[in-house]
Structure 1
Amino acid sequence: MEKKELQYIHMIAMGGSIMHNLALALHDKGLKITGSDDEIYEPAKSRLAEAGLLPEKEGWFTEKIDARPDAVILGMHARPDNLELKRAQELNIPIYSFPEFIYEQSRDKQRIVIGGSHGKTSTTSIIMHVLQHLGRKFDYAVGAQLEGFNRMVKLSEDAPVIIIEGDEYLSDPIKRVPKFHLYHHHIGVITGISWDHINVFPDPEMYREQFRIFAEMTPKAGTLIYNQDDEQVQLVAVPRNPADIAYEGYTVHEHSIRNGKTILHTKKDGDVEIPLFGEHNLRNISAAKEVCKKIGVKAHDFYEALKTFKGAAKRLEKIGEKGNSIIFRDFAHAPSKVKATTEAVKAQFPERELVAVLELHTFSSLNKAFLPQYAGALDKADAPIVYFSPKTIEHKRMEMLTEEELKIAFDNVNLQVFNDAEALQQHLTSRNWQNTNLLLMSSGNYNNMNMDALTKAVL
């Protein structure tokens, strides 16, 4: 089907962060967009309303499909027995998952897909920042809101290349294939492999297998760029046909830390001070540099652009600073991310105390069988804290956790455990913050904790 034929698209489960951004991007292009969802939260709600796309009522309505859209895009959070989905199947309306639709819209572009258990958002956003800085035309799909970009998705007719954050989670409730298998990359990146999504991939081998498939999908004359320091990545990125494919390994960028600032050491540009920090980010920079090199960006231009890159939202994001205290917020929730982020903040400010607060919010992180993966993850924090909401555990129909179980799983006797957000907020606001940094790690929101009030109290 020609992509230009699509005039009218209906989106099932349109309220998700990337789905509502796709809705807005297609609306910007002049397409007719309708959608449904059983719950839509902020900021999706306001953004859809502003564009005139917010559904009148929450829920699923077969009449929206009876209006005969040219295609349906199916979000991951719909169920296989969704009423609108069933109706679309009955009427033989083309149904796409998010990644299938992005692929269809970018068939004639060079597709760059960044995969990995951690670091994919940051690597993708560095590449996007560099290309925007240089005035290059490109499309994109990224999993976080970035400074300088009003959408998380852009699809145009004339951009020759598309930069895609390639998630290994499932594409949709029917096909249940990892998203990054459906983009058909020309240049692929694997930033790291660390078992995650236990509800879908019950053992580490099955999880790693998804990356092996991704690596093997690299086409003739394509490129696979991989983290050469990661043992799990080494197992899947073995050069199988080096005559046909370029295999490019990368490591931590040469650097030093001076007074809490990261300085990159480069061959031709001398020392370059950048706002990013942390060993994981210095790997992400190396990955992004390899991608940019492949698409004709000179090293000097790459470093010039990097000087102004502040990072993606909730990726070691500085939400407040005063004197010798900083508050950072990070999306980290998987064990490898939590460990890397905690170590990064401590290494950057070794003379300051570090209070690290992790919210257990995902299915994996609340699963007793998975919890031992967190052993040692918070060891670099002077005051390690774990928070979870009993409501979330009940909602996910999981077994309740105890303080003792968490201390054993994290292998940390100093661990403090909270299951009441107000008590946690009280604890944080009442302590002394002289020469101390606060790191908040979560993919949730600490049961709607008032971040503004917390920031004011700490600083």
Structure 2
Amino acid sequence: MKIHFIAIGGSAMHNLAIALHNKGYQITGSDDTIFEPSKSRLANKDLLPLTLGWYPEKITTNLDAVILGMHAKPDNVELLRAQELGLKIYSYPEFLFEQSKQKTRVVIGGSHGKTTITSMILHVMNYLEIEVDYMVGAQLEGFDTMVHLTEENEFIVLEGDEYLSSPIDRRPKFHLYKPNIALMSGIAWDHINVFPTFENYLEQFSIFTDAITPGGIMVYNQEDEHVKNVVENSKNTIKKYPYTTPNYTIEEGTTLLDTPEGDLPLEFFGKHNLQNLAGAKWICLHMGVGEEEFYEAIESFKGANKRLEKIAENKEAVVFKDFAHSPSKVAATTKAVKHQYQNRHLLACLELHTYSSLNAAFLKEYKGALNAADTAVVFYAPEAVAIKQLDNISEQQIKNAFERDDLIIYTNPEDFKNFLFQRNMENSATVLMSSGNYGGLNFDEVKHLL
């Protein structure tokens, strides 16, 4: 097949392009900006566009399909040309579904935890040398790409994002996969720019549940009331498997999971991650993995990239970075680090970086999210607010939203960096939470804090 990617440089898009190239498809693509690591990875496969920009002449009737990325606009000249020629235009999730129609589709959904759960499942399968197709939202240790597609594998494991499918398809991605086996980890309002009310956001998960094939399976976090209500009130003829946080203890900074074979030391920690493990275990069992095999494999799982990733440690201090940005993720991550290092001073730093987090109407959702920290810092760049064309937010608004009077707020990247690098790190735990980089913070330099 000959396939052209409009906006090939995206994190998900370039991985799909490489996966299809590896499968033997003829791939071309365009984009107006391509950053690392996409740029080098595309270049290594001779898929990097020779020049940046959009070129309608690349769109011809010789193409079997066009795949449209979210970075493109509805008036993109290549898209308009494809529509004019009547070519088949797929969104990213639509094409993944086309590639997996004959497979058992396993879809991991939820506002939080889905990347980690998908990563856990793939780690177990890789450890046990069980070949599966997959799409996951982070680069995993031991995996070359974030997307892998074959003709022969029975299962495909898909991370089910609730964000929009493409500029011309406003359906959430996970509505398109029609899973045979699904998981729902948690529901906490996000993407306020697309789902303006919580009720509207909640509805997307009901649609996801109802899209499971009749007779299929839903594994769900029974401790999340919204998840519980959505799944248990669904009239879809599916089998429902609830999970809860498994029993565990913490000894000298190591989490020990209670299993039938005794305490199992884990490389990761946090109640939310133990919940993730419980969900991943159910999914693996439904994919044919034995319970003992699961425990043997999960012992060596170190965590998904940028999810409570340890970047520095000595006898006195430890530093983590985490992708957490939504209120529920921030609260879970902060509590997890404090629980794991109860006798240390916890510094929790959060960058407000996404559209939702910088929206004055959404700020109140962060109430109490940093309460577990001994010292709490929020960084945001006023210019990011302006770029997103949002109303200005003040430091007092942020303090009021978090309901923490001692909250430290920085808007200048150098001021934040100086604060971080001049701290006494003795007997401390630090977590840096952001989907950005605090205005240019080099995380390799952070390693030298200790």
Q: TM-score, normalised to structure 2's length?
A: 0.98
1:372 aligns with 2:370: no
Q: Displaced runs of 4+ in structure 1, greater than 3 A?
A: 239-242
For 1:204, the aligned partner's letter is F
Residues 240 and 367 of structure 1, relative CA distance in 2, 3 Å threshold:
closer
Cα distance in 1 for residues equivalent to 2:23 and 2:32: 26
Query: 1:21 maps to which residue?
Result: 15
Query: 2:319 maps to which residue?
Result: 327
- Counterparts in 2 of 1:75-154, with a 5 A limit? 75-154=69-148
- Counterparts in 2 of 1:151-230, with a 5 A limit? 151-230=145-224
Cα distance in 1 for residues equivalent to 2:187 and 2:233: 17
Cα distance in 1 for residues equivalent to 2:186 and 2:445: 36
Cα distance in 2 for residues equivalent to 1:201 and 1:77: 19
Query: 1:53 maps to which residue?
Result: 47
Query: 2:271 maps to which residue?
Result: 279
- Counterparts in 2 of 1:273-422, with a 5 A limit? 273-422=265-414
Residues 63 and 411 of structure 1, relative CA distance in 2, 3 Å threshold:
same
Gap regions ≥5 residues in structure 1: 1-6
Cα distance in 2 for residues equivalent to 1:219 and 1:45: 38
Alpha-carbon displacement from aligned partner over 1:16-49 (angstroms, at most 9, x marks no partner): 1111111111111222111111211111111112
Query: 1:270 maps to which residue?
Result: 262
Q: CA deviation at 1:391?
A: 2.2
Instruction: Report the number of matched residues.
Output: 450
For 2:336, the aligned partner's letter is A
8 Å CA contact retained: 2:206, 2:234: no
Secondary structure of the structure 2 residue equivalent to 1:326: strand
Q: CA deviation at 1:218?
A: 1.8
For 1:261, the aligned partner's letter is T
Cα distance in 2 for residues equivalent to 1:39 and 1:68: 26
- The correspondence for 1:258, drawn from 215, 230, 251, is 251
For 1:14, the aligned partner's letter is I
- The correspondence for 2:225, drawn from 222, 231, 235, is 231
Alpha-carbon displacement from aligned partner over 1:33-89 (angstroms, at most 9, x marks no partner): 111112111111111122211112222110110373211001112111111111001
Query: 1:3 maps to which residue?
Result: none
8 Å CA contact retained: 2:187, 2:226: yes
Q: CA deviation at 1:240?
A: 4.1
Secondary structure of the structure 2 residue equivalent to 1:66: coil
Query: 1:426 maps to which residue?
Result: 418
Q: CA deviation at 1:455?
A: 2.1
Query: 2:56 maps to which residue?
Result: 62
Secondary structure of the structure 1 residue equivalent to 2:283: helix
Cα distance in 2 for residues equivalent to 1:158 and 1:453: 44
Gap regions ≥5 residues in structure 2: none
Cα distance in 2 for residues equivalent to 1:389 and 1:409: 17
Cα distance in 1 for residues equivalent to 2:227 and 2:90: 30
Cα distance in 1 for residues equivalent to 2:7 and 2:37: 15
8 Å CA contact retained: 1:239, 1:247: no
Alpha-carbon RMSD across the aligned residues, in angstroms, is 1.1
Cα distance in 2 for residues equivalent to 1:43 and 1:250: 37
- Counterparts in 2 of 1:4-19, with a 5 A limit? 7-19=1-13
Cα distance in 2 for residues equivalent to 1:106 and 1:218: 14
Q: CA deviation at 1:430?
A: 0.4
Q: CA deviation at 1:292?
A: 0.8
Q: CA deviation at 1:397?
A: 1.3
Alpha-carbon displacement from aligned partner over 1:289-338 (angstroms, at most 9, x marks no partner): 11011111111000000111011110101111112211101110000000
For 1:304, the aligned partner's letter is E
Cα distance in 1 for residues equivalent to 2:401 and 2:439: 23
Cα distance in 2 for residues equivalent to 1:65 and 1:278: 49
Cα distance in 1 for residues equivalent to 2:62 and 2:138: 32
Q: TM-score, normalised to structure 1's length?
A: 0.96
Residues 132 and 356 of structure 1, relative CA distance in 2, 3 Å threshold:
same
Cα distance in 2 for residues equivalent to 1:192 and 1:125: 17
